[in-house]
Amino acid sequence: MTTIDLETTKNQARKLLDSRIASVTDLTLARKRVEELRDQLADAEREDKKAYVRATKDGWREDELRKLGLETGGVSQRRRRAKGEASGTTSVDAADAAPIS
C-alpha cells in the first residue's frame, strides 16, 4: 500500500488553489479596468456635450459644426439613431410569432 505524504498533498492542493486564485484575480482586475474605462467614457461624454453647447452658444450653427465633422453629441446621437431604426422595423404579434424551441 502506498503511503500518503501530508506535506506533498498540501503542496499539490496549494498549487491547484493558486492557479484558481490567479484566474479570479485576473478576472477581478479586468472588471475593475472596464469599470474605470466606463467612468472615463461617461466623463468624456459629459465634457463633449458641454463643449458642443459652448460652441453653439458662441455662434456656431449645427449645420456648420456638422460640415466640420462635429455632429451633435457623438454617442448620444448614435443611440438615438439606433432606437429609431429599431422602431422602424415591423412588429410581430405574439400570436403570429413562431414558438422558440
Each residue's pLDDT, cut to its tens digit, for the chain (101 residues) gives 678 899 999 999 999 999 999 999 999 999 999 999 999 999 999 999 999 999 999 999 999 999 999 998 654 554 555 555 554 544 444 445 545 54
Cα–Cα distance, 34 to 76 (Å, whole number): 20
What cell does 78 get?
448614435
Using an 8 Å Cβ cutoff, are 19 and 50 in contact? no
Cα–Cα distance, 79 to 62 (Å, whole number): 18
Q: Which sequence spans correspond to the domains of the chain? A: 11-73
